Structure 1
Amino acid sequence: MSSELPDPDANAEAARIQTARIEDEMEQSYIDYAMSVIAGRALPDVRDGLKPVHRRILYAMHEAGVTARSSHRKSSSIVGETMGDYHPHGDSAIYDTLARMAQDFSMRYPLVDGQGNFGSVDGDPPAAMRYTEARMSSIAEELLSDIEKDTVDYRANYDDRLEEPDVLPASFPNLLVNGSSGIAVGMSTNIPPHNLGEVIDATIHLIDNPDCTVEDLMQFVKGPDFPTGANIVGRNAVHQAYKTGRGRIRVRAEYEVEDDERIVITELPFQENKARLVERIADNVNEGKIEGVRDLRDESDRDGIRVVVELKRDAIPEVVKNQLLEHHLESTFGVINLALVDGEPRVLSLKETLAEYVSHRREVVRRRSEYDLEEAEDRAHILEGRLTALENVDDVVDLIRDSESRDDAKEALMEAYDFSSAQVDHIVSMQLGSLTSMEAEAIEDEYEDVQATIERLNEILDNESELLGVIKDELREVKDEYGDERRTSFIEDTGTVTREDLIPQEDMVVVVTEDDYIKRMPAADFRAQGRGGKGIIGTDLKEDDRVSSVFFANTHDYLLVFTTHGQVYQLKTYQIPEMGRTARGKSAVNLLDLDDQEEITAVVNTDEMDDDEFLTMVTKQGYAKRTAVDDFANILSTGIRAIRLEDGDELTDVEVTDGQRDLVIATEGGMSIRFDEDEVRAMGRSARGVRGINLTDDDVVAGVAAVDLDQHDWLLTVTQNGYGKRSDLDDYRKQSRNGKGLIDIKTNDRNGTVCAIDAVASGDHLLVMSEDGQIMRTRVDDISKYGRNTMGVIVMDLDDGDYVAAVDVIPAASVGDVEVEEAEEAEETDETDAVEADE
């Protein structure tokens, strides 16, 4: 019976197999990959501000002698040497990096001096590497200065054939000066460029004042300094970024408005593609998103950027400018000051970034000083031997001449004068010409210089302040050689561009119907007519719909909209859709949350209100109430209660008062009462108010006028059938509130009931709108002046079955230059001799 023996090779193979959980293996492998990307590709080192590919390109150029003092070398040659010796990751990645380092619109201080097409701000790619040439720029050499003096550590390259530096000595803080950007695994960096002089001044200040704050350093580093210039909006975001390492900085293009005819853009935000910007602006103009532009040209050349936006004749430059700002001329630079510190990624403040750089330079200067000291001591040792030999020149010459060989001569010299091996090597190699007195004197002078150097180097190494002084002196030298003026300016933060900024300030007429259709139209569309005209169509009504209100407002006005149910809403005029005269309008359901049978009864412009004023309200049943403006500071989108109403009562009219005015309440039946405003005490929003007028049976309030004797000249009354009149204020004597009042105007079959009353002055215009949608604009001065208890004259010529729906006054200050269209006046009915009724 036989049995198989175990295979020793199989056992050895099995012993090498390890059991592992797949999730653990994946986790560790991913971490290894992530750290490789973070440390070896995507993030800059805080010390020299370079990623490995940048560092390898510059070091390869240094090793090949392609410096700022050499001739340009083909880019393909530089890329090939970099790829073959240090960076085996593909030529396109290396060339893209090389090209970017040569772009003056990408780097604040380019590290490569390029010759040929290296791309443009329009996003054009560089020419192929076989067509371009490059060499190091002068400032790039400052990054490699003293690298041969053992100032930094080296590591083996990818194939262990050569060595490459872990970091460059960096004579200036390149991380802040040129910035950096990159995306690693799970993190990214985006460091803006800065002005070299400002960063160096801040670094020196930090060296002198290690306990300084970020605020102290910001006295020197004002903010990022982009190669394309432009403007930083506000300083708060910059302070946040410098203090925490993160922030969002708004950058705005530089532009100017020339002669109100064109907007000229001369500087763009950093990394903005000019060609794409012009294309986007053109698309927005064609789509109607930007209005008022008639032409767009790119006139940029080698001298700089110049994009011209030509405006139409009727365009408003401020509005076009704001439209461009909102969509195109302003961008955000998200600062993430993430860099490698001792091989680990860290988000750094401004102070921490500079402190890490100072620590690096301290190490570089120390190692350089040690290297120089060793070199100086070696030279001093040789010079000491030569000087000793010169002092004993005859004996030394005889000793050498008597020796059988060079080695015998060396041994004899070492025994006779205690020379070292290095010293005798130089002595036996001395030429006879060096034995002259002049040569001896030169050696003595050199020896003294070397001794002074040794003394200075020892002082630097033994004294921290001396070492830091060297760092500061070298920084100042770099600043003197390469420092320049800021390119990026600061402008005040006036807030982001809002929709309001994009709307031109324009006077509008707003129309609302009973079925809650609403629209706005330019007031300039309605020419002033002589009184008695029929007006023009103002809206297209749906069947059985009627106009309920009309009012005058500017597009930028904030309006308080009061309804018959005692609610108040807040609305911006520009939120109301703008439509033509023959349009019906849009449903107001998205603007105002109106109930069934609820109508707009009054509109108040908040721009006319001060904090110490009041909103004075009157109801259909004769109640009056004053409420402080402050009570309407926070109005919900669904509205808030303005007044408490009794059953069957409605809010009729609202006026802004200041506590010093007279109130005139008018009724539909033609009665009116005038009394001091302070007879109605101020109450809260939920109050009902007090009796303003004692109404007769079946009469109701038509409106209220707030009279300011310094502003107003007359009371204007308009009736349902289109008649009206002006009356002197003195015709309405003051009474106590809750009286029956005096007759204001005769209401009969011809006039109809009173529709509106208002206090007016010379130069005001009147807007009158009928229920069927006719609208007429006329001058108040054209309406005849009569006393109380008269019938007045025709104001608007209405069709049969049509009635005045609403009236509003355009103040003289808002009238402007309006074309006046004279209409044939209707026959007046003169009632000036009518006998006043019993009062």
Structure 2
Amino acid sequence: MEENPEESKDEQLNKPKEELMRVTGMYKDWFLDYASYVILERAVPAMEDGFKPVQRRIMHSMKDLDDGRYNKVANIVGHTMQYHPHGDASIGDAMVQIGQKDLLIDTQGNWGNILTGDRAAAPRYIEARLSKFALEVLYNPKLTEWQLSYDGRKKEPVNLPVKFPMLLAQGGEGIAVGLSTRLLPHNFNELIDASIKHLQGKRFKLFPDFPTGGIADISHYNDGKRGGRVRVRAKISQLDKNTLVITEIPFGTTTTSLIDSVLKANEKGKIKIKKIEDNTAAEVEIQIHLPNNISPDRTIDALYAFTQCENSLSPLGCVIVDNKPEFLGVSDILRSSTDHTLHLLKRELEITLDELEEQWHFASLERIFIENRIYREIEEEETWEGVISAIDEGLKPHITHLKRAVTEEDIVRLTEIRIKRISKFDIDKAQQKIDALEDEIARIKHHLDHLIDYAIDYFTKLKEKYGQDKDRKTELRLFEDIEASKVVIRNTKLYVNRKEGFIGTALKRDEYVTDCSDIDDIICFTADGKMMVTKVDTKTFIGKDIIHVAVFKKKDKRTIYNMIYRDGKGGTTYVKRFAVTSVTRDREYDLTQGKKDSKVLYFSANPNGEAEVITVFLRQVGSIKKLKFELDFSEILIKGRNVKGNIVTKYSVKRIELKEEGVSTLKPRKIWFDDVVKRLNVDERGELLGEFKGEDRLLIITQDGIAKTIKPELTKRFDEEMVILEKWNPKKPVSAIYWEPEKERYYVKRFLIEHPDKEEKFISDHDNAYLEVVSTDYFPMIEIEFTKLKGKDRRPNEEVSIEEFISVKGIKALGNQLTTDKVKTINLLDPLPDEPDPEEENEEKEEVDFNQIGTSFKEDSSEENQTKLFDDE
């Protein structure tokens, strides 16, 4: 503290001194107070009614203003400020969010668009009123607990008496201090069904349903608890061979943000598109136009892998229970909400019962008072006490059947009855009123005795009344995992400088290897028997004398490497066959035995396990007689990459030449079709389609009469219109029955697929033509049920063998008329037994699995060579 020279020493001594205070205590208290306020009063919804404070105050204000007509939102916001101690912007935004959920608020005007992300108009331009649903389930002043508003001028509800699982229906998000909450929205009707099941003591499951639609994988939803995850995808379909269309978007995105993510992925080269159009209005429609020769199926996968067409949501069920935050699953929240609704319904019944009994009591008392003319006994009384006493005495002989004692308040009410009412009193009508009240009391008591049934009936009526247009919007489906490296567009070129040992995308003066993407891994082999897998980069040193470079595929068991190497200088020559399925990136692997001056003499990479035949030439050394011999790689077992290999020769090798290209030594690949995700797989999920060699194809027939064959690519997507998917046998005919509208007849045809690479329509091009029956059996059988004509007996059902009915013709042939009579239905029966195809049977007999019969070449049979197949680190 600086001293003022003009002040005396006494003045300076008497002046108060500055004090140092520790802020740790204040910080601790104030931070806790602030955190508690944000959690309880702003960010986290309450379990009882599912509302945050601002939402609750908005709904209470709307009830204050409700007269059945629309109110300006600006007016509602201003009214809410009497209860909410924050600005109008936060109230307006919260109200728009409630209105966009289309459940509690009946909106008018531009309230924004959750699909495009467009904001609502200003509050002075839009209007709102409570929906009929809100009026029915949100309010009951007799059940509401009230508290003073923040300034003490008004009363506001502590919680609204909501008789519905509102928290799960609307969902909600909030970020507080030290915690957050994210409850996903659920389907209205499914919540009611779950509540009914809970009341019945049955198990139930709840899954989210998003207003934007889309597709969701809820396999890891974990009941909405912490640690759960929901994957959501846009709904993408193929409009034509060069156009994709997005008709539904994932929750949490808008068409604007999704389009931006697609354009960004295109700029980075992850996908390749020509242009994108946003035609969204009431429904989402985003058209993505593709260049020629770009696979639509692969692009769909790439959209899921690299754009917002797929997102992951992490639910977190944090709610306020007994003035404390708790983390709960959606099942617990549903049970608690349903139990709370049951309690509220019971309280409503009890209050109604009390009111009815009170009405019955006074109606009975009024009848006694008038029917027995007790009012005459007060004529001579001069004091109020005398009047009360006279009426009390007059009632005593007649009140034995009443359900409670007569109070002074009851007597005062009797004195307030008008003379006109006494003069027109009708005993029969009075008794009818009492009887009606007794019936109503009995009904309420029955509901209280059967409260569960009453609650179930309440939920059922809610569903009938308000659930008509609330079908599930989000399709639930298991998602297949998409490997980004398999679907990314090859957006750059890879080069190699073999002699110096460099690979990279910047070596444009050196040898071109292949197109690749910037997320690919590259596998390299060098002449000294070293192998390395590394990430694509502009320039990477591998090692001098590179002999093979390629894009590396993880878990690839079908690419087989054939290798012959010399063990050290002047050492023995070995042969080995192996696959590389997994490695540690940037680690150098030695495929020889590690001796100095080891060298690879022959190397080939075979994408489908091909095994060539080579010729080995030896040097003329000493008394060696056989200077040339052949080696067939099909006789070498495929083993792990670390094995020593089999001995080729102990003599010096002069050179090795390729004699004959090889065929695959791998077994045909078994392929399954998983109907849940509409994908092919080799993981034994779904229906086995068969064993496929390199040239085998799949036959696809769709409901609109299109036949085509395709190669069984695991990235291929299949649509819902597909009626046949099987391994194609070129010699097996397709039998079809279709309706020809112009001739008003069913036609039968049998045909072979003549152009495997061409998609062909085999029914009429008429708009109303349709495929009735299709079969790929050799001898299909059908049953025809005929229509009964007036005045005639119905023609009996007829069984027809299609193979006898018509011969195999061209795919464009019209076919033969099935019948001239009117047909009611055509049923496909079990076919006659197939005759075996002799050529196919011979092929199966000739098929050989070289993996099982391979033998070691020459004399090497050491334990080191017995490494199991694909022994990777």
SS in structure 2 at match of 1:352: helix
* CA positional deviation for 1:101: 1.4
TM-score, normalised to structure 1, is 0.66
* CA positional deviation for 1:365: 2.6
| Structure 2 unaligned regions, length at least 5 | 1-15, 397-405, 621-626, 666-693, 695-756, 759-873
Alignment pair present for 1:204 and 2:196:
yes
* CA positional deviation for 1:453: 3.9
Deviations, residues 226-245 of structure 1 (Å, cap 9, x unaligned)? 1111111x22221x243x34
Further displaced range: 433-442 or 482-491: 433-442
SS in structure 2 at match of 1:293: coil
C-alpha separation in 2, matches of 1:652 and 1:683:
19
Deviations, residues 542-577 of structure 1 (Å, cap 9, x unaligned)? xxxxx7x97999999998643221223347xxx668
C-alpha separation in 2, matches of 1:613 and 1:282:
39
Q: Is the 8 A contact 1:292 1:312 kept in 2?
A: yes
1:237 equivalent in structure 2: 220
> Could you tell me which of 389, 395, 398 is aligned with 1:417?
395
2:208 equivalent in structure 1: 224
C-alpha separation in 1, matches of 2:169 and 2:548:
64
SS in structure 1 at match of 2:525: strand
Where does 1:600-639 land on structure 2 (aligned, <5 Å)?
600=547, 615=562, 617-619=564-566, 623-627=572-576, 629=578, 633-634=582-583, 637-639=586-588
* CA positional deviation for 1:31: 1.0
C-alpha separation in 2, matches of 1:551 and 1:486:
47
1:480 equivalent in structure 2: 464
2:136 equivalent in structure 1: 142
Q: 1:477 to 1:632 in 2, by over 3 A?
A: closer
> Could you tell me which of 495, 499, 505 is aligned with 2:481?
495
Deviations, residues 326-384 of structure 1 (Å, cap 9, x unaligned)? 12322222211111001101110122212321342243233323322321221121012
C-alpha separation in 2, matches of 1:681 and 1:283:
48
C-alpha separation in 2, matches of 1:606 and 1:277:
30
C-alpha separation in 1, matches of 2:353 and 2:560:
84
Q: Is the 8 A contact 1:290 1:320 kept in 2?
A: no
2:648 equivalent in structure 1: 692
Alignment pair present for 1:93 and 2:90:
yes
Aligned length: 631
Q: Is the 8 A contact 2:554 2:581 kept in 1?
A: no
Deviations, residues 728-759 of structure 1 (Å, cap 9, x unaligned)? xxxxxxxxxxxxxxxxxxxxxxxxxxxxxxxx
1:300 equivalent in structure 2: 280
Q: 1:39 to 1:682 in 2, by over 3 A?
A: closer
1:31 equivalent in structure 2: 32
> Could you tell me which of 345, 349, 354 is aligned with 1:374?
354
1:529 equivalent in structure 2: none
Further displaced range: 664-673 or 27-36: 664-673
Further displaced range: 448-457 or 92-101: 448-457
> Could you tell me which of 169, 184, 189 is aligned with 2:176?
184
Task: Report which of the two has the higher share of helix.
Answer: 1
SS in structure 2 at match of 1:354: helix
Supply the AA of the counterpart residue of 2:319. Answer: A
Q: Is the 8 A contact 1:563 1:602 kept in 2?
A: no
C-alpha separation in 2, matches of 1:505 and 1:275:
25
1:71 equivalent in structure 2: 69
Greater gyration radius: 1
1:57 equivalent in structure 2: 58
* CA positional deviation for 1:519: 6.5
Q: Is the 8 A contact 1:601 1:652 kept in 2?
A: no
| Structure 1 unaligned regions, length at least 5 | 1-13, 522-537, 542-546, 578-585, 712-760, 762-815, 818-839
1:665 equivalent in structure 2: 615
C-alpha separation in 2, matches of 1:632 and 1:279:
37
Alignment pair present for 1:123 and 2:121:
no
Supply the AA of the counterpart residue of 2:328. Answer: L
Further displaced range: 636-645 or 676-685: 676-685
Supply the AA of the counterpart residue of 2:616. Answer: A
Where does 1:372-521 land on structure 2 (aligned, <5 Å)?
372-392=352-372, 395-396=373-374, 398-399=376-377, 411-418=389-396, 420-430=407-417, 439-458=426-445, 466-483=450-467, 484-496=470-482, 498-503=484-489, 513-518=498-503
Supply the AA of the counterpart residue of 1:208. Answer: Q
Q: Is the 8 A contact 1:230 1:269 kept in 2?
A: yes
C-alpha separation in 1, matches of 2:214 and 2:54:
30
SS in structure 1 at match of 2:26: helix
Supply the AA of the counterpart residue of 2:338. Answer: V
C-alpha separation in 2, matches of 1:158 and 1:110:
28
Root mean square deviation of aligned Cα: 4.4
Q: 1:625 to 1:357 in 2, by over 3 A?
A: same
C-alpha separation in 2, matches of 1:441 and 1:231:
66
* CA positional deviation for 1:314: 3.8
Where does 1:537-548 land on structure 2 (aligned, <5 Å)?
540-541=509-510
Q: Is the 8 A contact 1:553 1:605 kept in 2?
A: no
C-alpha separation in 2, matches of 1:217 and 1:455:
34
* CA positional deviation for 1:385: 0.5
* CA positional deviation for 1:505: 12
C-alpha separation in 1, matches of 2:540 and 2:47:
59
Q: 1:635 to 1:626 in 2, by over 3 A?
A: farther
Q: 1:606 to 1:31 in 2, by over 3 A?
A: closer
Supply the AA of the counterpart residue of 1:217. Answer: F
Q: 1:454 to 1:422 in 2, by over 3 A?
A: farther
SS in structure 1 at match of 2:228: strand
Q: 1:477 to 1:391 in 2, by over 3 A?
A: same
Supply the AA of the counterpart residue of 2:300. Answer: K
1:754 equivalent in structure 2: none
Q: 1:370 to 1:118 in 2, by over 3 A?
A: same
Q: Is the 8 A contact 2:232 2:313 kept in 1?
A: yes
Q: 1:676 to 1:300 in 2, by over 3 A?
A: closer
Q: 1:705 to 1:553 in 2, by over 3 A?
A: farther
SS in structure 1 at match of 2:57: helix
C-alpha separation in 1, matches of 2:159 and 2:444:
24
1:568 equivalent in structure 2: 531
C-alpha separation in 1, matches of 2:580 and 2:302:
35
SS in structure 1 at match of 2:36: helix
Further displaced range: 408-417 or 40-49: 408-417
Q: 1:42 to 1:305 in 2, by over 3 A?
A: same
* CA positional deviation for 1:260: 1.9
Q: 1:616 to 1:605 in 2, by over 3 A?
A: farther
Where does 1:702-717 land on structure 2 (aligned, <5 Å)?
702-703=656-657
Q: Is the 8 A contact 1:619 1:701 kept in 2?
A: no
Q: Is the 8 A contact 2:555 2:581 kept in 1?
A: no
Q: 1:693 to 1:273 in 2, by over 3 A?
A: same
2:812 equivalent in structure 1: none
Supply the AA of the counterpart residue of 1:643. Answer: T
> Could you tell me which of 669, 674, 683 is aligned with 2:630?
674
Q: Is the 8 A contact 2:562 2:603 kept in 1?
A: yes
Alignment pair present for 1:258 and 2:239:
yes
Q: Is the 8 A contact 1:661 1:706 kept in 2?
A: no
Q: 1:52 to 1:354 in 2, by over 3 A?
A: same
Q: Is the 8 A contact 1:142 1:170 kept in 2?
A: no
Q: 1:679 to 1:252 in 2, by over 3 A?
A: closer
C-alpha separation in 1, matches of 2:539 and 2:657:
27
Q: Is the 8 A contact 1:231 1:491 kept in 2?
A: yes
Alignment pair present for 1:83 and 2:75:
no
Q: Is the 8 A contact 1:557 1:607 kept in 2?
A: no
1:160 equivalent in structure 2: 152
Q: 1:644 to 1:431 in 2, by over 3 A?
A: same
- Higher RCO (CA < 8 A, seq sep 6+): 1
Further displaced range: 306-315 or 652-661: 652-661
Supply the AA of the counterpart residue of 2:303. Answer: L
C-alpha separation in 2, matches of 1:500 and 1:676:
33
Supply the AA of the counterpart residue of 2:41. Answer: G
* CA positional deviation for 1:127: 2.2
C-alpha separation in 2, matches of 1:159 and 1:608:
68
> Could you tell me which of 334, 339, 342 is aligned with 1:354?
334
C-alpha separation in 2, matches of 1:53 and 1:662:
76
C-alpha separation in 2, matches of 1:154 and 1:691:
92
